[in-house]
A and B are shown apart, each in its own frame.
Chain A
Amino acid sequence: MISGARQAEPNWFHRMVARAMARRLNAFVVPGPDVARALGLDIEAAGLQVVDTPRHASVLLLVGELPEGLREAAAVAYAQMPRPRAVFATGTADVSPLPEPDVSVALDQASLATGIQELRRAFAEGAFAPEIEDFEAAVVQEDEEDEEEMDHGHMHHDHGGEGQEEESEEDQEDEPEEEESGEKEIGEDQLENFMSMIEMTEGMPASGDGLIMEWVPAPYGPLFPGLPGGLSLTFTLDGDTVAGTEVEPGIEGHIPVEILHGPVASIAERAAKLDPLTPVVYRWLACRAVEDASGAQISDEEALSRVGALERERAASHLGWAASFGFLIGDGSLSQRAAWLQLALLQVTNIDEVGLIKDEVEDFVRKALRTPFLGSKLGGIGTPEDGPEDAAGPVARAAGSEKDSRSEDPTYRNLGFYPIVRDGNDALARFRLRLEEIAQSLDLVLGAGAIASTDSPAGEASSGTGTSTVETPRGTATLDVTLEDGKVISAELDAPSTRNARLVEGVTVSREVADALVGVGSLDLSPWEMSR
């Protein structure tokens, strides 16, 4: 029996339904498909259909280690899923407060495929059971209580990736009296308690067009399909216009930068955990900081190899962004092709394979830049009210800034690097710039001639302080470390997403909700590197 079996005495009909379900497993991915792709998982190729809402999912797919905040969000999503439902963990050790996974495998494509076969068997045999267990996580109860407190008519809506109340048909059958009273309420009480729109909106602020409407808080994330997995926003909607925005700073319980404290020899391994979307960048950043502290020099070959690995990751990251952004703006073709290329690029093992994939990527970039109606969809959207002064990376460069720490790196200069800069300061400029950077990064990879990642810092580090700066796919990241007796005793990170997150309010307020989301999406925020 699976953990979320549906209550029924299994008969021939249930067995037939269970077998059909086993062949069509729909997965809601936690933290999100973007993280799964960045970790090299092709979920659909392995046999799961990715869906946009937990309501339509039969499998909750957990990808990698999840911080506490995401596990709690996952528990709420699980509670929203109709039975039969199952938990499938890939590389996730701690799943609390969720029930124990029905299938748990290692985090790689082959294990994913094997796990899905196991899951199909579990569904076919145990989707229905005479006795089932309720799922009663504290976070779900709290969420429901909050709902009840705030719930009056349509004043509060809280759906999708977040807390949700529900009752199944079985629940209703168990409580016929409550249901009857509910029906009566619709018919009579509502008429008695009818309030005019004037009464309902009395004292509320007026919209930009002078109309006074209900303002509705709408959670977007941390598991919203159109945003990066883990990113959590709350829009206050005035109709379908965003009247206010709150950004959750980072992911609750995510590994803090203090994880870098400890022996310098293994710092790269620990740094890679800081952001699952760009592990190579953080490996390099940590190694360079330690090398700066110890005064160690790396060979030209090592420097080129690091550039190759970093630029491969940048190209893959931008492709991953294009896949997510394509999904957000409804361009299915763009999204699918970008996702395929991202996975293909992450799977290459040597420089020759990069050469083989380059033509495909360039063809993709050429076609994506010629997508019809892209200008009308993205032009003028996502322009921050306060200007791009604080922005980092592609967001800044798409606003005319030449900020790019690679310009000062001799290895990059020798490879003929120049920062790509565009005007526009909107979602369209960012889209074009990132696509052009994909092609440029692959040229740099081929120029570097190697893509080996950094395993440990060079030299013998003992004591001292060091600083390193790396141009990540999202902008310049700076790390300061202090070493003592071969150990890191303090570390301070300035990550680009923290800076770009400050632009969110400016690109969302007074925008139609779709335009606001496009604005946020165009910033390419990584909630993993945002400091809490």
Chain B
Amino acid sequence: MTTAIVILVLLAGAYVVAVLEGWATNGRLRPAGPALDAVALLGRESVVTRSSDRIFFEVGPVLLLISALLAAAVLPLSPGLVVTDLATGALFVNMALAFVMVALVMAGWGPDGVYAMVGGWRFLGQLVGYSMLIVMPLTAVAMRAESLFTIRIVESQGALWNVIFQPLGFVLFFLAALAVCFLPPFDLPTAPGELAGGVMAEYTGARLAIMRLARMVLVVTLAVTVTVFYLGGWIGPVLPPWAWTLGKSLLVAAVMLFAGRYVPRIREEHFLQWFWKFGIPLALVNILYVGIVLLVVDK
């Protein structure tokens, strides 16, 4: 039952995120847009390129969806509403998100198209850049909670949300979350002006529908992750806990979708350079800072 509820919430969230993305991209708010798009895509031919690597081509979009759903499985929407409350929950999120890279490399290689292939390899490079900025801020979050249980992490923010307690970690994790979702300005694998859609360029019909759904679910999952780890999860007055989680997550998702609209796409070399040269030292500073505060001030 819980699993069904979580999946339904994710799908509903993905729908809202799709509406928001349409608004961010075209400046038009069309609530029925994603539904019409989905129906239209299902009615269109699903083309397979002649020299495609069929296994990679078919598995890529599905794996992307699975990785997003897996990551969401350990994220609590309210104290009792989590698919599985693993002892290694925070690490499990990281593990599940690692498959995003595998999915995109497969989707890039599968169609035997140069734009798609470059897009896939670009995301491999992107993973090298952002992966430490997922793990290291999570370490600081787990240090405060003294646990990797995601429910415990939310409870640890009862007095003060992590976004206030460790703002540096929040900024780094948020940027990394944007990169995981390949949203602008980190949309290197899809880059419409440079790769004509990149990893998504060769997908049509039902396969494209799955790919787009997977991406939207991924955005929702990352937004919930940010909410759980930094924005106090379900904590909030008056409204029921699940409503707080959903409200905060949608707000995060909206910021994720709109933030990149006003800056140019980052250059690949700068992405790696900045995330490694500045991001990792700052993440270490964040861990050190959180450690000192926990050992000295909180005592």
Contact = CB atoms under 8 A, between A and B. Distances in A.
Contacts of B205: 82, 169
Interface in A163-180: 164-170, 172
A215 to B, nearest CB: 11
Interface stretch (B98-106, B150-158, B265-273): B265-273
A376 B55 contact: no
Interface stretch (A47-55, A349-357, A494-502): A47-55
A85 to B, nearest CB: 9
Contacts, number: 191
B262 A372 contact: yes
Contact of B114 (A80, A84, A157, A371): A157
Contacts of A372: 262-263
B127 to A, nearest CB: 15
A56 B197 contact: yes
Nearest to B274: A376
Interface stretch (A202-210, A268-276, A478-486, A512-520): A512-520
B193 A158 contact: no
A84 to B, nearest CB: 7
Nearest to A179: B54
Contacts of B109: 154
B115 interface: yes
Contacts of B51: 151, 153, 165
Contact of A330 (B26, B53, B111, B185): B185
Given A52-B192, A84-B44, A514-B194, A332 B184 contact: yes
A186 interface: yes
Interface stretch (A11-19, A392-400, A467-475): A11-19
Contacts of B292: none
Interface residues of A, number: 70
A10 to B, nearest CB: 11
A114 interface: no
A169 B43 CA distance: 12
A159 B43 contact: no
A514 B191 contact: yes
A161 to B, nearest CB: 7
A237 B53 contact: no
Interface stretch (B34-42, B85-93, B245-253, B280-288): B34-42
Contacts of A515: 267
A83 interface: yes
Given A331-B263, A373-B266, A53 B47 contact: no
A330 B264 contact: yes
A517 B193 contact: yes
B263 A53 contact: no
A167 B263 contact: no
Nearest to A165: B50
Contacts of B46: 82, 168-169
Contact of A82 (B44, B193, B262): B44
Q: Could you say which of B27, B184, B195, B264 has the most chain A C-beta atoms within 10 Å of its C-beta? A: B264
Contact of A376 (B194, B197, B267): B267
Interface of B: 24-27, 33, 35-37, 39-40, 42-51, 53-55, 109, 111-118, 121-122, 184-185, 187, 191-197, 201-205, 208, 260-270
10 pairs of A and B residues whose beta carbons are closest in the complex = A330-B265, A17-B43, A157-B114, A159-B113, A226-B193, A82-B45, A165-B50, A328-B193, A20-B39, A329-B264
24 contacts: A6-B43, A14-B43, A52-B196, A55-B197, A58-B44, A82-B44, A82-B204, A159-B114, A159-B201, A165-B51, A169-B45, A240-B122, A330-B264, A331-B261, A331-B262, A331-B265, A333-B262, A371-B264, A376-B267, A377-B266, A378-B264, A512-B268, A514-B194, A514-B267
